[in-house]
A and B are shown apart, each in its own frame.
Chain A
């Protein structure tokens, strides 16, 4: 299984990478939505993307919209992992095509729980 971790904070990418590799994922990192789309164009679709919201260049919401408009990325699961805690934001992300929404700060248990809801990772 492959995951892409998209966050402008290297610290958060490191934390999420460690969580995901511990449960058997191969992890690719990207520092914003644009960087992520570039990487996906090279490596192809992955099983799940963990997506921050506030990032320069292309933010997480814009990334979700772009992925859902791209047939080559069809079926990729999208999990927002973000400090954006407003209910309107959660609704907007889910309407745009995100599958799950995790608010920062997050625990490993919450990430695993949400992955299980998506039918991926360990349950």
Chain B
């Protein structure tokens, strides 16, 4: 579990710094981290199937997703639409899933990313066993990463 978390943090830092040039920092998974996700959030999820089965999900505020979109699309933040935000966060989840997959038993395949909107992330209960739940801070906002192993 600890091994997973350290490796997942490393993968996450690499993805965010390489694609966005942003530092993403691990923070304690405290009430504040959970509370920040009770507002308008977007969740990007990918499924892994094969030798290991489960989901990798990235949750962040709508505003952070739009900042990511603005940077990747080369537009102003206030020009970034929900469609831009969904595309950009979906791809961040895809990259996260692909790189996390390489830490897990092979062979397995990755689904296309799905992005869902929600207003209270903490109410959503994952189906399966929560292997890792890691809170990060980036650009003054919270990001939550969850790795859930599906029950077999």
Residues on A close to B: CB < 8 A?
Answer: 8-12, 14-15, 18, 54-56, 82-86, 88, 103-107
Check if B99 sits within 8 Å of A56, measured CB to CB: no
Check if A105 sits within 8 Å of B94, measured CB to CB: no
Q: Chain B interface residue count: which class?
A: 20 to 34
Check if B95 sits within 8 Å of A105, measured CB to CB: yes
Residues of chain B contacted by A55 (CB below 8 angstroms):
112
Q: Would you give the shortest CB distance from B97 to chain A, in whole angstroms?
A: 7
Check if B107 sits within 8 Å of A86, measured CB to CB: yes
Residues of chain B contacted by A18 (CB below 8 angstroms):
74
Check if A83 sits within 8 Å of B99, measured CB to CB: yes
Q: Would you give the shortest CB distance from B95 to chain A, in whole angstroms?
A: 5
Q: Which of B72, B94, B106 contacts A15 (CB 8 A)?
A: B72
In the complex, what distance in Å separates the CA atom of A51 from the CA atom of B91? Answer: 15
Q: Would you give the shortest CB distance from A104 to chain B, in whole angstroms?
A: 5
B90: nearest residue on chain A (CB-CB)? A9
Q: Which of A14, A83, A86, A103 contacts B72 (CB 8 A)?
A: A14
Residues of chain B contacted by A9 (CB below 8 angstroms):
87-88, 90-91, 94
Q: Would you give the shortest CB distance from B32 to chain A, in whole angstroms?
A: 28
Check if A54 sits within 8 Å of B110, measured CB to CB: yes
Within 8 Å of chain A (Cβ to Cβ): is B69? Answer: yes
Check if B87 sits within 8 Å of A83, measured CB to CB: no
In the complex, what distance in Å separates the CA atom of A64 from the CA atom of B91? Answer: 21
B102: nearest residue on chain A (CB-CB)? A85
Residues of chain A contacted by B69 (CB below 8 angstroms):
11
- A-B residue pairs in contact (CB < 8 Å), sample of 6: A10-B87, A15-B19, A54-B98, A83-B98, A85-B102, A103-B98
Residues of chain A contacted by B110 (CB below 8 angstroms):
54, 83-84
Q: Would you give the shortest CB distance from A33 to chain B, in whole angstroms?
A: 13
In the complex, what distance in Å separates the CA atom of A55 from the CA atom of B94? Answer: 11
Interface residues of B in 101-132 (CB under 8 A from A): 101-102, 106-108, 110-112
In the complex, what distance in Å separates the CA atom of A88 from the CA atom of B84? Answer: 32
| Given A11-B87, A105-B14, A105-B19, CB of A83 within 8 Å of CB of B73 | no
